[in-house]
Amino acid sequence: MRFKTPRGTRDFLPEEMMERRYAERVIREVFESYGYREVATPTFETLELITAKSGEEIRRHIYHFKDKSNRDLALRPELTAPAMRLYVNMLQFEPKPVKLYYFGNCFRYERPQSGRYREFWQAGIELIGSPYPEAEAEVIAVALDALEKLGLMSYELAIGHIGVLRAILAESGVSGEEQDKVMSAIDKGEGVKELLDEIGVAGESREKLLRTLKLAGERERVIKEAAELLENSEKALTELEKLRELLNILEGYGIKNYSLDLGIARGLDYYTGMVFEIYAPKLGAEKQICGGGAYSLAEVFGGEAIATSGFAFGFDRLMLALKKEKVRFAPASNAACLVVPTSEAVLQEAIKVSRALRKHNACELELTRKKLGKALRYADQRGFPYVVIVGDEELSRGYVVLRDMHSGEQKEVKISKLEELKLK
Ligand code: HAM
């Protein structure tokens, strides 16, 4: 009986894991270069935490279960809520800003397709404790920096501002919760008008909101048109001004190539201000490789309200995008050498030899009792640059044979010198 992986989950073969680990390292280095520090949280959380402010779309896709003590639990669909729970419980009194990053698997019970899985990985940051545009700009800059260091060439950045949309709704008396519902409908791209009817947003405000949602494209034009449209909405204009400031600061990072899209609402309920998404157009339907923005969650988890912003890469989609562009990953970190005992009698010595070599090199001991000829062929197939042959005669003189698999040259090396040997 053979078993398949559960629907929407995947196995990763060694070659692929090597590429994933390489990309993960690059991303971590970028996050850390801006002062973000890693945290890790449990794979499952209480259902209550996961459903609070997560947004209708995500709530529909939660893996929810009861444990043996009848507790309602859920596999995490994202890492912002867990990171903010951790912040409120343990880091609230640290000096601000608190800069956290994470890399972990997430679960959503979605219909699987290319780039959409039920288990996937996110790499993200949360910047806690600055309401200023320079903090929001840094968050966007970190994401783009990581993409650049990974070597992704073709991607599009779109920036929006949920604060503007919420302000228009607030001005016509729409409550926070109802605003969340409208954002959710905007994100799905359906039922917005019906929902506005239902909650009684009519006349000028309705018109303003619907027209704002359509404002997208080149920066100067969008800002100008939005300013005209929102002329009499003081709150919305204040939010628009914040967006303008953010865009100015982005220029300092050399970030000019993006489109403004005031129709971005994101699928999660917690966003309050700037939002952004990054797309890899070559990925087709599931092209969003990154999403984030400014949000408010600490108070939902019993903490003091505090300005926060962050983002998460969809790591699997990022890997797909890099592969589509045939980005070259760091060369295979194969072991540098294979240690081959020529008979069982020298096995103990061969173990000692491999331990000495490991001081400076990755090396494998031949474990399947292949004859020398077969072992050399295997080393060739697997791409070992060196083979160390441990034979009776050389051993008796205190030597082993080092074979360069590329040139075929062989030389004897003193066993006592193996600890100093650096092969690659
Ligand atoms: P999100 O947009 O829901 O945001 O997810 C972030 C990224 O995860 C998406 O852009 C996408 O690349 C990837 N992703 C989502 N669902 C799947 C899936 N089923 N299969 C593969 N990849 C997927 C968040 O999760 C927020 N917590 C981001 C954030 C952090 N906002 C502020 N801080």
CB 241 within 8 A of CB 291: no
pLDDT higher than 70, residue 332: no
Enumerate the β-bridge partners of residue 341: 390
Mean pLDDT check: name the lowest of 54-58, 83-87, 167-171, 346-350: 54-58
Give the mutation target among 49, 60, 78, 315 for probing the ligand 1 site: most ligand atoms within 8 A of CB: 78
Among protein residues, the one with the nearest Cα to ligand 1's atom 10 is 290
Please provide the average confidence, as pLDDT, over all residues in the chain: 95
Per-residue DSSP letters for 153-197?
Answer: ---EEEEEEHHHHHHHHHHTT--HHHHHHHHHHHHHTSSHHHHHH
Q: How far is the CA of 304 from the centre of ligand 1 (A)?
A: 25
pTM of this structure: 0.91
- Grade residue 36 by pLDDT with cuts at 50, 70 and 90: very high
Atom of ligand 1 nearest to the CA of 310: 33
Q: How far is the CA of 374 from the centre of ligand 1 (A)?
A: 49
Residue 243 CA to residue 232 CA, distance in Å, equals 18
Q: How far apart are the first and last CA of the chain?
A: 44
Radius of gyration of the chain (CA): 28
- Listed in sequence order, the DSSP H helices in 87-152 are 133-150
Ligand 1: which residues within 6 Å by Cβ?
78, 80, 108, 110, 116-117, 120, 122, 124, 126, 267-268, 288-293, 295, 310-312, 314, 316-317
Residue 264 structure tokens: 């971005």
Among protein residues, the one with the nearest Cα to ligand 1's atom 12 is 314
Tens-place pLDDT, residues 243-295: 999 999 999 999 999 999 999 998 888 999 999 999 999 999 999 999 999 99
What is the CA 33 to chain-centroid distance, rounded?
16
Tens-place pLDDT, residues 106-162: 999 999 999 999 999 999 999 999 999 999 999 999 999 999 999 999 999 999 999
Among protein residues, the one with the nearest Cα to ligand 1's atom 22 is 314
Give the DSSP letter of residue 31: H
